[in-house]
Structure 1
Amino acid sequence: MKTSQSKFAASLIATTALFGFTSIATAQEQEATTEDQSFQETIIVIGTPGGAGTSRQDASFAVTAVSEDDIARLSPQNASDLLKIIPGVWSESNGGAGGANIDVRGLPGGSDSPFVLFTINGSPIYGTNMLSFMDQSVLFRVDETIAGVEGLRGGPNAIFGKGEPGLTVNFNLKEGGPETEGRFKYTTSDYGLQRVDGVLSGEISDDLYYMIGGYVSSSKGIRDTQFQSEEGHQFTLNLTKELSNGDLNFFVRTTNDHTPWHVPFNLNGGFDPGTFIQLGNETRFREITVNAAGDTETFDFADGRGFDGTVAGGSAEIDLGNGFTLRDKFTYTKASVDTLGFVAAGTAVQAGALTSGATPIVTGPVQTTAGQTLSDTDFVQTYGHWVVFKDIDALINDLSISKNIGSHDLTAGLYSATWSTKDRWHLGNPIAVHNAHNGSPLAGVTPTDIANAGGNAGFSFGLVESGDATSTAFYLADSWQIIDPLRLDVGLRYENAEIDTVVDTGPGYADGTIDTNSTLDLEETSYTVALNYDFSDDLATFVRYTDGYTLPDFDDIRGGSPQTLDINQTEAGLKFNNGTFQVYATAFMTETTNFLNVVGGTGAQNFETESLGVELEGIAELGNFVGRVTATFQDTEIVAANNAAVVGNKVLRQPDYQVRFSPSYTIEGSGFQTTIYGGLSLVGERFGNNGNTVVLPEYEKFDLGIQTHFNNGVFFQIHGDNLNDSDGITEGDPRNPTAPNGRPIFGSSVKLSIGYDF
């Protein structure tokens, strides 16, 4: 009954938004004022040749613009949590500050974020979308220096992104202006968060502007580890110089931020799934053997998962005259992206299974190293201390030149990138623990004992790896205004990439024998074609076909699957905006071939998928009330695979539907303005594996907040997240799909911010 009610509610909200908004707007046809048109005139940078920019209403692709106010009301836990406002995106943002699993409509994923690219001011942060223990959300932290976010799905990503029609998330930094402006903000929470944000901008000299800002933050986390496990700071400088024939920009962003790596755990322990964490003071430090000589190191697992490094970049746009415009964007990234986590190794068992029977596995009561005696019904489990050191760097440049010739806007571009990774892993390192919040290791009990009682013994695996890659791509694009309402947008990209990988693996550490020493030289071509038709200033439509690809990365080579994924996608979109009502709907059909999936403990599965669906974004601005709905409905299917048993099944971890409704109401008072806002998320049932035997139930999540701004610059905000304390499970156990382990979303929390704008 619950399933049918939720599906009905989701369908009702989406249908009402699409048809209700449109019919009301048509009935109320009115002349929109300049103020009303502010949303329509939002300039979209991502998805345009060289980052030239276009209005959202003119874009022949699916893109969402997220404003600074939207970010504040979302109050995201991390960068991936921000993506919940973008239709067509499913973000498992409960893994910590980074390391989310992010799936994109129509594309198979299942682990990490194989089709997601993060950019700053339109330039990529790293050369490939993901590596083991590193997705794009690890590389970015949201703070007050962000002016807005763009989320592009499909289409132009295949030409101006990384050759694939997935998701590009672009973070635009704030820029300075002639007036000095700033913000200071302090934030605390019911879980002990202490955070200070600040931003300041202004003019250095004529036509030279600055923006500086950042944050310092510390807490034990919603999942309390008994120590300050969430700590970080960030500083950003952005300089802009206006020229008589263009502008120059340079930014540098240094970050050192980490949180625990939150992973699936036993769900039968009788604890609160929204706040549980196994890691605590008793398991924080671990001495681990790191080489065949028996040398050891002691690691502090308070370091968790995070980003410690610098991203610098810049851009130039120069009007060369005679209709020519030169644009260049670049980024340089150098960072450590380390992961130290405490990871469950399969099934938990009750302590009584160790001590019962004619020949008990353990003699006497089961005790912890802290001196606690466990009852027979207490759960015990094997956990492992996982250590991953990963140093990355990347230099990326995108140079383009555009020329307007009559009804044609032509662009030619050269994209070049070099990137690398150096890894050292010590995975597994199993230990038997009391499966309780901040549980202690067991005294006299080994992982083998746990396995003999029906659990798992764990494993140990290690490696050192060095990977280097270069990519050069040429692209051509034309926007041809065939007749006044009809425009043709086309793009073509040719890419040549060389990927080198050297790997030495072993039992918990490298054994001195090279296992992989490979070089790939790859060539691929992608293209996209779109027609955009304007029925009026308010109403337009587009159709687009894209043939794209995803190149293999270092991990694919190490795993013996250096193959290119082919992606074909057809899209049809409707765009309506009269300043009061906006509706953006995109239907999509996607086919993929050569996708390799190793999630689920069943070995490599090479398969093909087909997906059909529609995504919707609707906004209504009715006086002081603003209603926003985003929704995605899709049907995914594995149509071919080397494992015949999964053919006909749904792609793992992608729901048939997800809907978010975000209303707000603003009260104007004498000397103040107060906005009450909320968010209701409905997520459909998913499967934790391609065999579709592990069900991840549907769930609902409710958020509520209030913001008040006073005319003297003082403001405050109270934000309640997951107030219904939903235990929504985002993934099962990726290594042991039949184990009763899962990773729930964070439990309910409340944050309070107070600040001053000047």
Structure 2
Amino acid sequence: MKPLFLKQVLASAIAAALSQSVVAQEDAPQDTPAKATSENTEVIVVSGTPGGTGIRKIDASFAVTNIDASDIEKLAPKSTADLFKAIPGVWVESSGGESGANVFVRGFPGGGDAPFLTISLEGSPIYPASTLSFLENSQLFRIDETIETVEGLRGGPNPVVSNGQPGLTTNFRLKRGSDTTEGLAKYTVSDYGLNRVDVMASGALADDLYYMVGGYIKSSEGIRDAGFRSEEGNQFTFNITKEFDNGQLNLYTRQTDDHGTWYLPTPLNVEGIDANYTQIGPLNRQATITYGPQNTTESFDFGNGRGWDGHVSGGSLKLDLGAGWQLVDRFNLTKGQANTYGLVPNGAATTLAQVADNNMSAMGAVTGEQYAGDTPVQQIGRWVVQKDIEAFTNDLAVSKAWDAFDTSLGLYTATTKAEDWWSLGNQAYYVLTPGGEKLEGIACNDSPEGCGFSYDIDSVGDASTTAFYATTKWYATADLDFDLGVRHETHEVSYSVDEGLDGQITKAVNYDQSKVSWTAGANYSLNDFSGVFVRMNQGYKMPYFDDFRDNFGAYTDGNDLIKKVTQGELGYKYMNESIQFFATAFANEVEGDTFVRLPGVPAEILTNEAYGVELDAKYQHDSGFSLNLNGTFQETEITASATNEGNEAQRQPGWQVRLTPSYAFDVNGMYASVYGTVSAVDDRFGNNENTVVLEGYEKVDVGVIFEPVDSLKLQLSVDNLTDEQGITEGDPRSPDAPNGRYIMPRSMKLSVAYLFY
């Protein structure tokens, strides 16, 4: 998309929004109360507020999207990251399975994972390091029937509050109990062998003491059939709330053991290899790797894929201290294992005759079958990443409200730990069929060193963060307010690594740096139903363990590894009984970003600029018809790089649009709803060199919900109705190889739920 066209789109969107507000002002009654009473305008968001004290969405001077449980039900996300596609300004590659997604925000640079994403539960970050190698936040979180809503805050006050994430913070809020006992039991099946049972119940344990309990158990062969039960998991959540005369105490724990196949790029130029292909299968899921100076061998089940076995536990204490004083303390402990076992392609596909010892044929290591020279083959690495993590965060905020001012002081502390054991490489040639077997009669296949790249480490890292922050809001008039926030953060890292698994520490770091972040905004109410806001902020993404390992010795000052993010926003918002419309123009610069093609290989350091507009709209009609619009239009440019200056940021589309119509109606007293989503995505470049083009695509999802009686609900959802063969990424490890990762093929799910009240 050309810059001039984007500016025209932006100008048109803002002009249309402002003209709409003028009409609303002219039509509004002159005796309208100071604050609107529309149900829509009473939506409360807690993200971006000190201690999560909350603010009406129509009054917020920042861009935040809220998705409630009914929206999640219709979106039917295949993973946590898949849900984030409903947030404007966010580009998600969720084609790697339930874990291992890539999430990009507002044109910020990145080569994978989710470096500018924080996932919070009840306002607390579940893991302060948004991305480590082979770990991004969405891997640690599963969506189920215990979720009430999720908020997605881009930019805004993010750099100042909580963990200071300058990009996207998503905050999940759990359902809570009340004086009414209610719940559900749901059974889900699919055309890929899914069997899943969800349960949830909530109610009162005693006066002012409430509970919510729920979870799931599931098993399937995977959307890309692995030939065995490759996706298995369970989760249990308990949430308890005690109400006091002057506040409340909330405690929760979320125990998860869930893993599934890590889907990886596949050859795009081999007949028969399509979106249904996956490397893993019964002929290769059990494999032996070789590591260390003594060529130690060990066998693993690569069918375990990628997942999370651990818990996220915490709570909050909210107290009204009187005289306008409030205290909020939120805390969280996350601990467990986030392991990865994957069959990772290395380079382009070839034919067996090109690599066989006899230049003619080779034999299958499992079946003994003799494969001819024209058989497609590819190097596949057996990668093992074992990762034990732990993090504890606490966010204490004290606030005071005066007639014209609100002021808050906060203290955020976090400790983060990761212990890693890797063996990467272990490449060998495999037959290019789903779950194809390893071959014998190829020299490097039979060598302990394997074929090509290898990198093994044993490491341990500890990080601690202490941040003081302060915010203030001045209500200049009944319609105009200004806010200001500042944060002083000290970040310390201790990290050591044994590269080669020979017992010798090869790199060790002790790091201590401080930075000051800030945000400033203004909000003006045009009338009771609309307003405009403007905001500037500057924040930082502090380095963690992998940043030091990949750049060790390259810089004399660890300050060079801090990513500095400067952002500006201009927004318009309109909310009444039937319409929610938000248009946000943004511009940002990210300095000091690092891109690592392979672990252990020095990073590319670059500066990236982006600007664009986000559209977030919802229309509801009394007839039962509703329409959601989610659009992002953006331009990116690498403005500083040793080799790629002037190019676009990799893997980010110039535009993306999602349109979701829905129609609810009654059939002889029985409720029904039909809905769908049409998504369209622009072309992207697969690398910073801009030599690999990933073509845009369109995708259609549909569904129907039917409630024959009040206590029974049936839902059928079809993902990728037309079986579109879209590509989300190339091969980040071998960008010139004709490999890519397809979006998920067509799949169908049917669920039956029993609800009780």
1:413 alignment partner in structure 2: 410
Matches within 5 A, 1:448-597: 457-506=451-500, 510-560=501-551, 562=558, 563-597=561-595
CA RMSD of the aligned region, Å? 2.5
Letter of the aligned partner of 1:380 in structure 2?
Answer: V
Counterpart Cα distance in 1 of 2:23 and 2:123: 34
Counterpart Cα distance in 2 of 1:230 and 1:558: 32
Of 408, 417, 422, the residue aligned with 2:419 is 422
Structure 1 position 709, deviation (Å) = 2.1
Counterpart Cα distance in 1 of 2:119 and 2:167: 11
CA contact (8 A) 1:600 1:733 kept: no
Structure 1 position 352, deviation (Å) = 3.6
Of 362, 369, 375, the residue aligned with 1:366 is 362
Q: Deviations over 1:270-317 (max 9, x none)?
A: 225221001111111112234434433210111110000011110011
Letter of the aligned partner of 1:611 in structure 2?
Answer: A
Letter of the aligned partner of 1:699 in structure 2?
Answer: Y
Structure 1 position 603, deviation (Å) = 5.0
1:166 alignment partner in structure 2: 167
Matched, 1:613 2:604: no
Q: 1:217 to 1:28 in 2, by over 3 A?
A: farther
Letter of the aligned partner of 1:690 in structure 2?
Answer: N
Counterpart Cα distance in 2 of 1:309 and 1:25: 53
CA contact (8 A) 2:46 2:53 kept: yes
Counterpart Cα distance in 2 of 1:376 and 1:83: 45
CA contact (8 A) 2:353 2:359 kept: no
Counterpart Cα distance in 2 of 1:609 and 1:262: 29
Counterpart Cα distance in 2 of 1:284 and 1:381: 16
Counterpart Cα distance in 2 of 1:259 and 1:737: 26
Q: 1:496 to 1:19 in 2, by over 3 A?
A: closer
Of 676, 680, 686, the residue aligned with 2:678 is 680
Matched, 1:753 2:751: yes
CA contact (8 A) 2:107 2:652 kept: no
Q: 1:449 to 1:736 in 2, by over 3 A?
A: farther
5+ unaligned residues in a row in structure 2: which ranges? Answer: 553-557
2:637 alignment partner in structure 1: 637
CA contact (8 A) 2:36 2:529 kept: no
Q: 1:328 to 1:256 in 2, by over 3 A?
A: same
Counterpart Cα distance in 1 of 2:112 and 2:134: 10
CA contact (8 A) 2:292 2:456 kept: no
2:666 alignment partner in structure 1: 668
CA contact (8 A) 1:18 1:618 kept: no
Q: 1:696 to 1:712 in 2, by over 3 A?
A: same
Structure 1 position 706, deviation (Å) = 0.3
Counterpart Cα distance in 2 of 1:484 and 1:23: 18
Greater CA drift, 434-443 or 698-707: 434-443
1:388 alignment partner in structure 2: 385
Matches within 5 A, 1:172-187: 172-187=173-188
Number of residue pairs matched by the alignment:
737
TM-score of the superposition, structure 2-length normalised? Answer: 0.94
Q: 1:529 to 1:499 in 2, by over 3 A?
A: same
Q: 1:669 to 1:636 in 2, by over 3 A?
A: same
Q: 1:703 to 1:18 in 2, by over 3 A?
A: farther
Letter of the aligned partner of 2:418 in structure 1?
Answer: T
Counterpart Cα distance in 2 of 1:323 and 1:19: 36
For the residue of structure 1 that corresponds to 2:548, the secondary structure is helix
Letter of the aligned partner of 1:540 in structure 2?
Answer: G
Structure 1 position 390, deviation (Å) = 0.2
1:453 alignment partner in structure 2: none
2:439 alignment partner in structure 1: 442
Counterpart Cα distance in 2 of 1:49 and 1:757: 36
Q: 1:122 to 1:25 in 2, by over 3 A?
A: farther
Structure 1 position 320, deviation (Å) = 0.8
1:315 alignment partner in structure 2: 316
For the residue of structure 2 that corresponds to 1:72, the secondary structure is helix
Greater CA drift, 207-216 or 427-436: 427-436
Of 715, 718, 730, the residue aligned with 1:717 is 715
2:227 alignment partner in structure 1: 226
For the residue of structure 1 that corresponds to 2:135, the secondary structure is coil
2:211 alignment partner in structure 1: 210
Counterpart Cα distance in 1 of 2:347 and 2:15: 44
Counterpart Cα distance in 1 of 2:270 and 2:20: 50
Counterpart Cα distance in 2 of 1:516 and 1:247: 47
1:703 alignment partner in structure 2: 701
Matched, 1:402 2:414: no
Structure 1 position 457, deviation (Å) = 3.5
Letter of the aligned partner of 2:239 in structure 1?
Answer: N
Structure 1 position 24, deviation (Å) = 11
5+ unaligned residues in a row in structure 1: which ranges? Answer: 356-360, 451-455
Counterpart Cα distance in 2 of 1:447 and 1:218: 37
For the residue of structure 1 that corresponds to 2:42, the secondary structure is coil
Structure 1 position 366, deviation (Å) = 3.2
1:358 alignment partner in structure 2: none
Letter of the aligned partner of 1:275 in structure 2?
Answer: N
Q: 1:447 to 1:71 in 2, by over 3 A?
A: farther
Letter of the aligned partner of 1:444 in structure 2?
Answer: G
For the residue of structure 1 that corresponds to 2:620, the secondary structure is strand
1:287 alignment partner in structure 2: 288
Q: Deviations over 1:61-110 (max 9, x none)?
A: 00000010110011001000000100000011111111111000031112
Q: 1:683 to 1:24 in 2, by over 3 A?
A: farther
Q: 1:363 to 1:449 in 2, by over 3 A?
A: farther
TM-score of the superposition, structure 1-length normalised? Answer: 0.93
For the residue of structure 1 that corresponds to 2:83, the secondary structure is helix
CA contact (8 A) 1:473 1:496 kept: yes
CA contact (8 A) 2:363 2:371 kept: yes
Counterpart Cα distance in 2 of 1:170 and 1:253: 15
Over the matched positions of the two proteins, sequence identity in percent amounts to 44
Counterpart Cα distance in 2 of 1:352 and 1:690: 34
Letter of the aligned partner of 1:374 in structure 2?
Answer: Y
CA contact (8 A) 1:22 1:581 kept: no
CA contact (8 A) 1:432 1:446 kept: no
Letter of the aligned partner of 1:548 in structure 2?
Answer: G
Counterpart Cα distance in 2 of 1:625 and 1:20: 25
For the residue of structure 2 that corresponds to 1:160, the secondary structure is coil
Letter of the aligned partner of 2:521 in structure 1?
Answer: A
Counterpart Cα distance in 2 of 1:137 and 1:25: 42
Counterpart Cα distance in 2 of 1:570 and 1:16: 16
Counterpart Cα distance in 1 of 2:491 and 2:710: 55
For the residue of structure 1 that corresponds to 2:132, the secondary structure is coil
Structure 1 position 171, deviation (Å) = 0.5
CA contact (8 A) 1:200 1:211 kept: yes
Counterpart Cα distance in 2 of 1:386 and 1:311: 27
Q: 1:341 to 1:266 in 2, by over 3 A?
A: same
Greater CA drift, 94-103 or 390-399: 94-103
Q: Deviations over 1:10-30 (max 9, x none)?
A: 979x96996699489749946
Structure 1 position 420, deviation (Å) = 0.3
Structure 1 position 375, deviation (Å) = 4.1
CA contact (8 A) 1:345 1:457 kept: no
Counterpart Cα distance in 2 of 1:140 and 1:247: 25
Structure 1 position 164, deviation (Å) = 3.6
Structure 1 position 736, deviation (Å) = 0.8
CA contact (8 A) 2:393 2:415 kept: yes
1:273 alignment partner in structure 2: 274
CA contact (8 A) 2:390 2:417 kept: yes
